[in-house]
Structure 1
Amino acid sequence: MGLFSARRKSKPAHGAGSAQEASDRTKPSPRTSEIPAALRLPEILQRTFDFIDEYTLHHTVLLVCHQWFWANQHRIVRKVNWFEASKTKRLDKVISRLPRATHLVLCSAGNDDSGTIKLIQALSDNSTRQLQEQEQGLHGVLGQDAYIQPTTPTTHHGLIRKTRPLQISRILRDLDLTGSRDLLFDLLPYLGSLTRLRVQLSARESLYVDAVFSSCPNLVSLRLESIWGFYLQGSEGSSSTMLCSLRSFIVENAIISEPSLDHLLTVSPRLKDLQLRNLRYDSTLATPQVQHWSWVMKKLTALEISLTSVHFSVYGQPMAEEEVYEKIIVVAPRSQEWVLRSFDLTPALTHCLMQIPNRVTSLELVASGDAESAFSDELHQYLCASPHLLYLKAPHSVCLIESMDIHGRWTDPSTTTTVGTAAHPPGIWACRNLRTLHIRVHDISPDSIEERSGRSRILFGYISRVLPRLEDLVLLDHDVRQSRMSLDLQSGFCLLARLSGLENLRVGQIEKKMTFRAADLRWIIPSGHINGGRIERGYVYKTWDKLLAQEAERSAMVSMNPRKQRQLTKDVELWKSLEHLGLLLDVKVMVDEMETNKEAFAGGMRKLRDLAIYRNLLSRPTPPEKEYLRLANDNFELRREVWRDDVGGLAAVAAFVIS
């Protein structure tokens, strides 16, 4: 019982009903339907599992039968996080989970603190255990399932385990490391099973990529980055013919010599994704450095490397239009994944992109360097014409509220030069199936509290209606010193409850003290939809009568412009759902829906696993319940609701036992 208990389990009845239940348990279960012949083929079954999302895999697929359980062991993700600032007592818990971990997130400034030393030793012991198990034939090199096709029909008509399957998934495959080069080199001897490695260096250092390839022979994806820049070195002029399995190579803010990149491309014939982001230059080096796309293009052609995704940019220098055309049309004409910089998305480039079939499913806009143009509306215009887009990561690109205010309720077109005019009118994004959205929000905090609430309702209402399939949502402030999104109930933060598939939600990028009422946030967790949570929203709800009346008067005076009337004929259902966008009435309708459709909203946001509200970007993922408690420590009213629910829950249990 308590804050996070949505309902109390009822006590089973005894007597005549129990006899009937016992009789029901003895009845044979109905015969299951015949399994399609296609799913009897291991290859088709494995391919089908590749398209299933992680949540469905963990909560549904693994529970179907033993065959499906063992067939997906190598897809199970067991994530372990360790941050140097974490409490020491948590380290023992991390180490105990390490032998079964498949993904490790490690953030440490150095390699000499006691916690990091202890963790390195645990990785060493884990690596030794894995090597011993491999020698005994318990699983393959990559921890993949060891299955054989049966020669005679079996009850599972599928795949049979060769050996002890409990060992299949106990292997580290992914590592996200934030720290020094020395820490990486201390870890490398114990990372032989890695298939994906991401390193963010905390200082301007030199990194030898050959050492990484030698220690991680099965590496498929490698990403290296640094805020301050770093030197990426390889075996210049090496005659080694050892090829690696690398398929994705991403570097950011790196200083790379031409011989080093030449060697890396030579030993990576399977490379499909090459991204050289914001390359730096050091005038003190005598060796020629990679600074021109023409040199990279020449090497790719000579080595006959066929890429599906490519990016090349130099820090602070805008891309030439002919280079963009060559990378998109010539090198990767069928690419569905594009990576650009914020200020490279110019009107000319957008026009160029519109000339080819728009089949892009993934778009990432990385940091622009020192020539950033924060207020371009080209991203909005492109999204209005990209129906196939599934993933958008643009944490350095600014999204204007004016572009979302399709009714012009909280923005003044005469005060903006980029949107709201005849050339750039507000519009609706065409990417209805978008799964990932990372953007930066501009001008959400004007002086007027009423206007700030209205603009926040525009943001949350637009996203929840236009992008109903979102799974990963990150909303950052444009100016961390002044901007702050309004997250109270009146500002419509609860409109995000429409996103039933949301798994990750982050608002803000730095630690900020904010004042909340229980009604503002409690709808996220299960207890927000029992009596206490509904009563809290009811108290706030009753104070809106005057505001709603004033809002209705203003709305009645606004006439619909001809352009909006033409658009209404294109997507009537969507426009109808956006009828109250920006109004307090939209929040009222949402609260009423929570009250009437209790079954749909019971349990809060059921799929939400990670929640961060104005926390540091480097902070570890936190379940919604724990994040709510963290916010409660800074807000007396939230603490009071936590205490009241816990005491009330204990009283209910005591009354139930006495009766």
Structure 2
Amino acid sequence: MDTPTKTGRSPLHLPELLDHIFSFLSDYTITHFVILVCRQWLHVGQHRIVREQVWGNRLSKTEQDLLQANMGRVDRLCYYYHSMYDSPYVLEQLWTALGERSRQHRFLDWEQRRLQQRQQPSTSNGYIKPWLTPEETEDEDTAKLPLKELRLQGYMGLSGLRLVFQVMAHLTSLEVSTVCIVLSMLDVLESCPLLQRLYVDSITTTSRVLPRPWFSPMGINPQNGQRRKRPPLALRSLVLRNVSVPQSCVETLITITPHLRELVLVVKEFFPDDDDDAIATRTADGPRRIRELVRLHHPATLCSFFFSPPHTALSTDTIQGWIQDSPAPHINLDWTIEGPKLTPSIITHLTVQVPNTITTLHILGKCPILHDYLCASPHLLHLMAPKSAITLDAFDIHFRQTQGRPPPSAALRYQQQQQQQQQQQFPRVWACRRLQTLHIAFLPKKATASSSRLIFGYISRVCPRLQDLEIHGPEYLTLHEDEWPNEEEGSDGRLCVRLESGLCLLSRLEDLERLVVGTVHHDRFVLFEDDGHDDDIYNVGEDVDLAVDFDWMVPAGHSVDRKHARHAWIDKEDMKGGGGWAKRLEIEESKEAVRRLNYQQFLVDYGVVIKVQQGGASASEKIDLVESLEDLGLLRDVKQVLEEMDNAAKQQEGDDGSFRCWPHLHRLSIYCPNIFGLQPEAEVGRILKADDLKCGRDSARDP
């Protein structure tokens, strides 16, 4: 009889290895795929399941009641405060919900302890005191809260933050990105003793002030007469970006965080302490002191460290210092750079003279030459540049916006290279094909459908692996500040998001989980009021079906009836209000004939060779990319995507209306105050029932 052979166990059977692998996966992947593989994976990954809920301070009573009823199952709460004024009373709904969640948690804890007692020998009186009794005060009612993560964004002020922090005793992760200039670190650290991750940033270019004190004064030990030692904090990740801080408090924090694994300090200003006798010496010596404290107290625990002191001039020496600061030089670098300081010489140094291994990059403020850096950065995975202000000249690789002739800025560059007898290769395309996160802002000269098609088409082809995408228009650049008014930039409108604008081109991004297009931070916003299209004719008072523009994003928009409505809109004879694509395509083709002639003449005049300049790409990849960008900016590209979407829906589900163009998308925001985003169905429903949006489109100005 043959004995069965013993097969070796796979390393994936080790829970420790599995847990480490799961730490690199997104919340969506864990929740929807990993835990469904087998029981072991469910057991190992269940603590990573995050149930998220999004709130805003302008919800209706019905919406508040519904969200509050589901608070007992929420692990992460995202709260957006989009009021233009600061009032703690509007946070009462959130405070009430968190207090209710606290009561539910303590009641369940009391029941669990009572069950454990029944399984053990009884005590003297057999009674377990519940957490809550009628005699307990309101303060005790909000003493403990099992909420794991809280993300705050918007206009929330200091008083509102203090109100929320009163019920944050169980919090392990906190993100604060608000307009509020001042944040009390004392309130944060004392109200959240279990905090493991703290992220503080400002959504304006003005730095956030974190004034002292950060810690309560320590008392005297009566036994030895010495001051008590400060207990260590549980922090594992600390990110303070674009802040002004007291140097002594930062130094103390570094010494009492033994578990710290990530430390990011982007300091705009070190303001001195009142009791510091050597203010000038201490401030000048601050960067060296902080680096020494990091090496002394975290010699082997830190996995990521970035420190940018105040008034740092971006130079080759600065870059070398950042590389030396990193615990693992040349591997997975996470840097923050002020956009105006990114010069051509710095880009050359970053991409040629040192190992080009930056994987995460934050850009603060405007960055005119960001396009040049992205064309030479194949390893970049995450780019956060929400105020970068990129013009569309770099995206218009076929010169369709200028009828086949190079724009003045590009023409000057080609002339200079021709005089230097350099071989000119064209076009230059982003090299970051593996990019997963992209937050970026554009400056289209006109709010036209063709300019939006350039943006959406370029991103969908060049960055096919995107999971988190934020695309902002000119309205975001002047938000909260007067640094870059639209008039100076030559931009007079927002991004167009209608059907012919090509927003559906982003459906090529099959891994997309979050999509934000456009930004607004006030209550009433007309979606189409600034859309002055170069090839559209509007009829004031026309009854517009907004579903044609947006229902393709959700399964209901792919039913037979909705597809017929969309096709009827596209195939109608007149071009009023955005329809009549047959006529538009004819006009487009006639313009293309003229453009091709001018484009060929440009190649001859300047001696340009059609060859994609893209770092890290093979020859075959460059050829494929050129072919995929052939119809960039054209309406026929949009029509082709809609046809592909209809075919995919028909093959997948047989026209029963359950097809999803983005299978993983769970957060969507289209010019919505809530930048966290809503469920796609909820966001599309918000747009379709907004009467002011329809009025805005009817009254859109003629070109």
State TM-score, norm by structure 1. 0.75
Is the 1:235–1:263 contact (alpha carbons within 8 Å) kept by the matching residues of 2?
no
Provide the identity percentage. Answer: 28
Indicate the larger mover: 429-438 or 559-568: 559-568
Is the 2:388–2:440 contact (alpha carbons within 8 Å) kept by the matching residues of 1?
yes
- 2:389 corresponds in structure 1 to 398
Is the 1:310–1:339 contact (alpha carbons within 8 Å) kept by the matching residues of 2?
no
Aligned residues: CA RMSD: 3.6
Is the 1:529–1:604 contact (alpha carbons within 8 Å) kept by the matching residues of 2?
no
Alignment partner of 2:376: what SS?
coil
Q: 1:267 aligns with which of 245, 248, 256?
A: 256
- 1:356 corresponds in structure 2 to 354
Quote the Cα distance in structure 2 between the aligned partners of 1:250 and 1:445.
37
Cα gap change, 1:286/1:440 in structure 2, threshold over 3 Å: closer, same or farther? farther
Paired amino acid for 2:176: V
Quote the Cα distance in structure 2 between the aligned partners of 1:130 and 1:110.
34
Indicate the larger mover: 123-132 or 466-475: 123-132
Cα gap change, 1:62/1:311 in structure 2, threshold over 3 Å: closer, same or farther? closer
Is the 2:169–2:194 contact (alpha carbons within 8 Å) kept by the matching residues of 1?
yes
Deviation at 1:529, TM superposition (A): 2.4
Quote the Cα distance in structure 2 between the aligned partners of 1:605 and 1:533.
18
Is the 2:165–2:188 contact (alpha carbons within 8 Å) kept by the matching residues of 1?
yes
Pairing of 1:132-531 with structure 2 (within 5 A): 132=110, 171-177=146-152, 179-188=156-165, 190-200=167-177, 203-205=180-182, 207-209=184-186, 212-226=188-202, 229-235=209-215, 240-280=229-269, 285=274, 287=276, 288=279, 292-305=286-299, 307-313=302-308, 318-319=313-314, 321-332=316-327, 333-336=329-332, 337-354=334-351, 355-367=353-365, 374=366, 376-377=368-369, 379-411=370-402, 413-416=406-409, 421=414, 426-445=427-446, 452-479=448-475, 482-510=492-520, 512-515=525-528, 517-531=546-560
Paired amino acid for 1:439: I
Deviation at 1:466, TM superposition (A): 0.8
Is the 1:383–1:429 contact (alpha carbons within 8 Å) kept by the matching residues of 2?
yes
- 1:567 corresponds in structure 2 to 612
Alignment partner of 1:106: what SS?
strand
- 2:632 corresponds in structure 1 to 581
Quote the Cα distance in structure 2 between the aligned partners of 1:104 and 1:213.
19
Cα gap change, 1:299/1:514 in structure 2, threshold over 3 Å: closer, same or farther? same
Deviation at 1:342, TM superposition (A): 1.6
Is the 1:436–1:470 contact (alpha carbons within 8 Å) kept by the matching residues of 2?
yes
Is the 1:433–1:468 contact (alpha carbons within 8 Å) kept by the matching residues of 2?
yes
Is the 1:380–1:399 contact (alpha carbons within 8 Å) kept by the matching residues of 2?
yes
Query: 1:324-352, CA deviations, whole angstroms, 9 ceiling, x for partnerless residues?
Result: 33122344524522222222322232233
State TM-score, norm by structure 2. 0.71
Deviation at 1:253, TM superposition (A): 4.8
Cα gap change, 1:43/1:172 in structure 2, threshold over 3 Å: closer, same or farther? same
Structure 1 residue runs of 5 or longer lacking an equivalent are 1-33, 139-169, 368-373, 447-451, 640-659
Is the 2:385–2:439 contact (alpha carbons within 8 Å) kept by the matching residues of 1?
yes
Indicate the larger mover: 324-333 or 354-363: 324-333
Indicate the larger mover: 393-402 or 251-260: 251-260
1:125 and 2:83 correspond: no
Quote the Cα distance in structure 2 between the aligned partners of 1:623 and 1:135.
38
Is the 2:35–2:45 contact (alpha carbons within 8 Å) kept by the matching residues of 1?
yes
Indicate the larger mover: 170-179 or 575-584: 170-179
Paired amino acid for 1:343: P
Query: 1:586-637, CA deviations, whole angstroms, 9 ceiling, x for partnerless residues?
Result: 2232233234443369333332222211122x45521222222222234699
Cα gap change, 1:281/1:420 in structure 2, threshold over 3 Å: closer, same or farther? same
Q: 2:670 aligns with which of 607, 613, 617?
A: 613
Alignment partner of 2:358: what SS?
coil
Is the 1:308–1:335 contact (alpha carbons within 8 Å) kept by the matching residues of 2?
no
Cα gap change, 1:503/1:201 in structure 2, threshold over 3 Å: closer, same or farther? closer
Query: 1:333-376, CA deviations, whole angstroms, 9 ceiling, x for partnerless residues?
Result: 24522222222322232233222222222212134xxxxxx352
Quote the Cα distance in structure 1 between the aligned partners of 2:412 and 2:36.
51
Indicate the larger mover: 184-193 or 436-445: 184-193
1:103 and 2:76 correspond: yes
Quote the Cα distance in structure 1 between the aligned partners of 2:269 and 2:230.
29
Paired amino acid for 2:323: I
Deviation at 1:417, TM superposition (A): 6.5
Is the 1:181–1:201 contact (alpha carbons within 8 Å) kept by the matching residues of 2?
no
Is the 1:99–1:171 contact (alpha carbons within 8 Å) kept by the matching residues of 2?
no
Quote the Cα distance in structure 2 between the aligned partners of 1:494 and 1:204.
38
Cα gap change, 1:116/1:546 in structure 2, threshold over 3 Å: closer, same or farther? closer
- 1:46 corresponds in structure 2 to 19
Q: 1:603 aligns with which of 647, 653, 660?
A: 660
Structure 2 residue runs of 5 or longer lacking an equivalent are 1-6, 117-144, 219-227, 418-423, 477-485, 487-491, 529-543, 571-580, 614-618, 654-658, 696-703
- 2:573 corresponds in structure 1 to none
Paired amino acid for 1:219: L
Deviation at 1:493, TM superposition (A): 1.9
Query: 1:164-210, CA deviations, whole angstroms, 9 ceiling, x for partnerless residues?
Result: xxxxxx9422112354445555555643433211234664546244x
Is the 1:311–1:340 contact (alpha carbons within 8 Å) kept by the matching residues of 2?
no
Quote the Cα distance in structure 2 between the aligned partners of 1:386 and 1:573.
19
1:553 and 2:589 correspond: no
Is the 1:313–1:319 contact (alpha carbons within 8 Å) kept by the matching residues of 2?
no
Cα gap change, 1:385/1:82 in structure 2, threshold over 3 Å: closer, same or farther? same
- 1:152 corresponds in structure 2 to none
Deviation at 1:434, TM superposition (A): 1.1
Deviation at 1:270, TM superposition (A): 3.4
Quote the Cα distance in structure 2 between the aligned partners of 1:470 and 1:278.
30
Q: 2:53 aligns with which of 65, 68, 80?
A: 80
- 1:630 corresponds in structure 2 to 686
Quote the Cα distance in structure 2 between the aligned partners of 1:533 and 1:383.
40
Alignment partner of 2:624: what SS?
helix
Cα gap change, 1:131/1:265 in structure 2, threshold over 3 Å: closer, same or farther? farther
Quote the Cα distance in structure 2 between the aligned partners of 1:472 and 1:400.
21
Quote the Cα distance in structure 2 between the aligned partners of 1:130 and 1:277.
42
Cα gap change, 1:182/1:420 in structure 2, threshold over 3 Å: closer, same or farther? same
Is the 2:513–2:664 contact (alpha carbons within 8 Å) kept by the matching residues of 1?
yes
Quote the Cα distance in structure 2 between the aligned partners of 1:485 and 1:361.
28
- 1:164 corresponds in structure 2 to none
Deviation at 1:439, TM superposition (A): 0.2
Quote the Cα distance in structure 1 between the aligned partners of 2:510 and 2:31.
17
Query: 1:88-120, CA deviations, whole angstroms, 9 ceiling, x for partnerless residues?
Result: 333333333222211122356555554244234
Deviation at 1:464, TM superposition (A): 0.8
Cα gap change, 1:620/1:533 in structure 2, threshold over 3 Å: closer, same or farther? same
Paired amino acid for 2:438: L
Paired amino acid for 1:95: Q
Paired amino acid for 2:106: T
